[in-house]
Amino acid sequence: MNNIKKYIAFSCFVVAVYYSNAQTAGDYRPWMDSIYSNISHYFYDAGNKLYYEEYAPGEKQVHSFLWPLCALIQAANEAAVINPSVNYVQPAVDAIDQYYTTATPLPSYQASVVKEKKDDAFYDDNQWIAIAYIDIYNRTNEKKYLDVAKAVYDFMMTGYDTAAGGGLYWKYADKTTKNTCSNGPGILIALQLYKITDDKRYLQTAIRLYDWVNMHLQAPDDLYYDNIKIPSLKIDSVKYTYNTGTMLQSNVLLYNITHEKKYLQRAEAMAASATKFFYRKNKLPGNYWFNAVMLRGYIELYRINHDKNLLGFWYDEAERIWHDEKDANGLLGRNVKKKSLIDQAAMLEIYARLQALK
């Protein structure tokens, strides 16, 4: 009997050591499960099939703007890649559907729940949804997601004119800025639709937007400024990780499509510059979702050049956040008073994408 007890104890020890080593080596599935469980518990309004923006003990919760759902739907798809037996996507789709509006000349998704208030439609919010839906279509072959992406493309092109030489506005009802965050994802939608349909008008749009962003918003260090003001043409020179992410990914996709090495060379230069600029004192800037979008670009590049040095700091950052920026409830975020849906969704996407690389 004592030998049996010793064997069981030893076996438990071996399993515990194995599990610990697997986790530190990048088995993020338990962390993904924890995050998704917390999203469902703290942020989901099951009665209305909607999500709350934030959670803070003792404070009334309000339904989310559309932007955090852009993060959630992408995270849901990436989680489904790892665990296809769970229907992560449908609850997010059910929520997003409640932002659908025909108040714009072409149908779109507005920033707030339609039944609660009338709001502006952000071109980039619509684009993030389309990007996620294209990924869902590529995974499931369900045509309804591709149809939405095509409709978003048509809507986003209502934001194009010749002010400042071209480019897309940021908001439908606000013609005062053209942003990297509305043109970068616009390029990605057009390139992905071209890959699926072989319709050359999508490729032409992508190259036209790509050339405009590089002409007006690219910084000397190969990164990107945030926006150009209309009509003054003044540049807002702040740099965000997600703008690097969309343009980095765009360069890799353009290389895949055209086989022109200039795009790959630009992508590699951009990644090197971004690592130097954004990863300081062993951490990235605090917006997890901006960083998740940048990770997409790094992974796209990694699939081409297989340079493991590209991703090393991403694993370090993922580990650091889990250990240093998680509260007693397991909720992630640097704000100690309240936690946000977008932060949980962003980290779910990051852990899922890093897990998929395994």
| Both structure tokens of 135 | 């990924």
Angle between helices 143-156 and 123-140 (to 10 degrees): 160
Statement: residue 321 has pLDDT above 80: yes
Going from the N-terminus, what domains does the chain have, and what CATH number goes with each?
Answer: 29-356 (1.50.10.20)
**Closest to 241 measured CA to CA, from 292, 307, 280:** 292
Statement: residue 28 has pLDDT above 80: yes
Cα-based distances in Å from 208 to 48, 135, 186, 252: 41, 23, 11, 16
Pairing of strands 54-55, 100-101: unpaired
pLDDT for the residue numbered 358: 85
pLDDT for the residue numbered 228: 98
Instruction: Report the pLDDT averaged over residues 119-135.
Output: 98
Sheet containing 235-236: order of strands = 169-171, 174-179, 227-229, 235-236
pLDDT for the residue numbered 245: 98
pLDDT, averaged across the chain: 93
Asked whether 185 and 246 are in contact (CB, 8 A), the reply is: yes
User: Residue 32, SS3?
Assistant: helix
Q: What is the pLDDT of residues 200-226, one digit of tens each?
A: 999 999 999 999 999 999 999 999 999
pLDDT for the residue numbered 87: 96
Lowest mean pLDDT among 9-18, 99-108, 139-148, 195-204: 9-18
Statement: residue 145 has pLDDT above 60: yes
pLDDT for the residue numbered 46: 98
Statement: residue 24 has pLDDT above 60: no
One-letter amino acid at 320 equals R
**Residues 6+ away with beta carbon under 8 Å from 18:** none
Q: What is the pLDDT of residues 256-292, one digit of tens each?
A: 999 999 999 999 999 999 999 999 999 999 999 999 9
Q: What is the pLDDT of residues 55-94, one digit of tens each?
A: 999 999 999 999 999 999 999 999 999 999 999 999 999 9
pLDDT for the residue numbered 171: 98
Statement: residue 330 has pLDDT above 80: yes
